[in-house]
Structure 1
Amino acid sequence: MKKLKKLICVFFTCSLAFNLSAQVTQNIDSATIIREAEIFLKNQTKLLEENEGKVEITVNKLDPRLKLQACDQLVPFLTPGSKAWGKITIGVQCSTPKPWTIYLGANVKVSGGYFVTNKAVSMGQMLTEQDLVKIQGEISSLPPGTITDEKQAIGKTMLANYPAGVNLRKEMFKLIPVIQQGQSIKVSSSGNGFTVSNEATALNNAAEGQVAKAKTAGGQIISGIARVGGVIEVN
């Protein structure tokens, strides 16, 4: 009987040691989390790199004391309304086998060309190509709406006077409505391999890129982004 108890004890001790060892090996490597975050940010900034220039991504290291259980699939994400450049916070979430969420600091630098005034411009002046000059720099450190494509500025009317060398931003231009209240418009919604378009009536004036609201024939109120041609784009 004593030998049996000793064998049972040894068995459970070994079993416990094995389970503890398994738990240790089930902890996820912090490098894996950082790698997934970097891949996510690279995908988020792919168009920026193609259109603007160079993108540098740095994800902060995790506290080495932090232990997280291994995950079947990591899902990185940005909080709603967050941009994918500058100094940001990125989340990484796990659903199975044990749910957890962690947040990491990151810095995404986007370098490329943007436009400034080539000379002093006046309120009410319509910009031409001669009024602009393109310079290179870190776009991610500039204010939102910075002009990176001359087509976004040429033909636009200035709202105020500005000296030479000022960064051009969309907010500096007089906005011309592409959708007017009461106008019959189209509401366009697209997804993976499909596009749906419905008729509706605009409920407010909106310039291109602004939020517009419309009412469908069935009485449903829809919000989307105003586009040229009397179209509201719904994501």
Structure 2
Amino acid sequence: MRKLFLSLYTVCGALSVHTQAAPMPSTHATITQEVNDWLNTALSNSPGAYSFEVRPIDHRLKLDGCNQREISLPPGNRLVGNTMLRVKCVDGASWGFNLPVKISIQVQYAVAARPLAANQELNASDIAMQQGDLGALSGSVILDPASIIGRALNSPVAAGQTLRHEQLRAAMAITQNQKVKIVFRQDGIEISNEGIAMNAAAEGQPVRVRLDKGKIITGTAQQGGIVDVGQ
């Protein structure tokens, strides 16, 4: 009986080894479907309607069985236009490859509705919206026109030209030589005075102010020609 028990134990042990799950086949079709699923999830919150084209995996590429694959966007790549995804086996084999992908995202973006001058502050009538593929546009295009109302242009822009974030700056809250109100606040007490701004400044930027007797102080520019010098 003891010998029979040992024999059965040996057979069962051998069976248990041979019945362990082998790595699942890494077929090109399976990987392509996983890439499609990954892209649909990653692009689900895109700013516009999206579509993509996954380049066929090279049929000469032999991929060993893999239980789990990882898909990611390599550093330096954007999830739009002609880009690349990294497919890597992380369980069952040791391989990885880059897969070219073309992604199109149709968006509405801001352009100049008319010729605009340098230093001009933008209002709603200065901006028109056009539709295009985000992959063919600069990464700094403006999709939300409300976000640039009141900002000023660094340089002239021709009618129909795309507006970009680097072309804009915060509008000047205070101009040079403007008469300003100086406000000092501390412990619930507010003291005000007047002076002349010695430099232009956007809201939140430092501005130097000359007082009546020639004394110069520095404060923070606020809208309405106000300079805060303490709180």
TM-score where L is the length of structure 1: 0.60
Alpha-carbon offset, residue 103 of structure 1: 0.8
The whole-number CA distance in structure 2 between the counterparts of 1:75 and 1:175 is 43
Aligned residue for 1:165, secondary structure, equals coil
Residues 1:120 and 2:115 are matched in the alignment: yes
Cα distance change on mapping 1:40 and 1:57 into 2, 3 Å = same
The whole-number CA distance in structure 2 between the counterparts of 1:38 and 1:171 is 34
Aligned residue for 1:47, secondary structure, equals coil
The whole-number CA distance in structure 2 between the counterparts of 1:75 and 1:31 is 16
Query: Deviations 1:112-168 (Å, cap 9, x if unpaired)?
Result: 211100001111111110000111121221011101111232111100001100011
Structural mapping, 1:60-209, within 5 Å: 60-174=55-169
Unaligned 5+ runs, structure 2: 1-21, 172-231
Unaligned 5+ runs, structure 1: 1-22, 177-235
The whole-number CA distance in structure 2 between the counterparts of 1:175 and 1:73 is 49
The residue type equivalent to 1:39 in the other structure is D
Query: Deviations 1:9-65 (Å, cap 9, x if unpaired)?
Result: xxxxxxxxxxxxxx9x954110111122222222222211xxx32101111001112
Alpha-carbon offset, residue 175 of structure 1: 5.3
Cα distance change on mapping 1:65 and 1:81 into 2, 3 Å = closer
Quote the residue 1:58 is aligned against: 53
Kindly tell me the number of residue pairs found equivalent between the two proteins. 153
The residue type equivalent to 1:102 in the other structure is F
**Deviation >6 Å, runs of 4+:** none
The whole-number CA distance in structure 1 between the counterparts of 2:57 and 2:109 is 35
The residue type equivalent to 2:36 in the other structure is E
Quote the residue 1:40 is aligned against: 38
Query: Deviations 1:66-85 (Å, cap 9, x if unpaired)?
Result: 22122211110111232100
Aligned residue for 1:75, secondary structure, equals strand
TM-score where L is the length of structure 2: 0.61
The whole-number CA distance in structure 2 between the counterparts of 1:160 and 1:59 is 40
Which is richer in helix? 1
Larger Rg: 2
The whole-number CA distance in structure 1 between the counterparts of 2:164 and 2:80 is 18
The whole-number CA distance in structure 1 between the counterparts of 2:156 and 2:88 is 48
The whole-number CA distance in structure 1 between the counterparts of 2:161 and 2:55 is 34
Quick one: percent identity of the two aligned structures?
A: 26
The whole-number CA distance in structure 1 between the counterparts of 2:146 and 2:68 is 42
RMSD: 2.3
Contact residue 27 and residue 67 of structure 1 kept, 8 A: no
The whole-number CA distance in structure 1 between the counterparts of 2:50 and 2:45 is 10
The whole-number CA distance in structure 1 between the counterparts of 2:59 and 2:25 is 12
The whole-number CA distance in structure 2 between the counterparts of 1:174 and 1:147 is 13
The whole-number CA distance in structure 2 between the counterparts of 1:165 and 1:84 is 27
Aligned residue for 1:95, secondary structure, equals strand
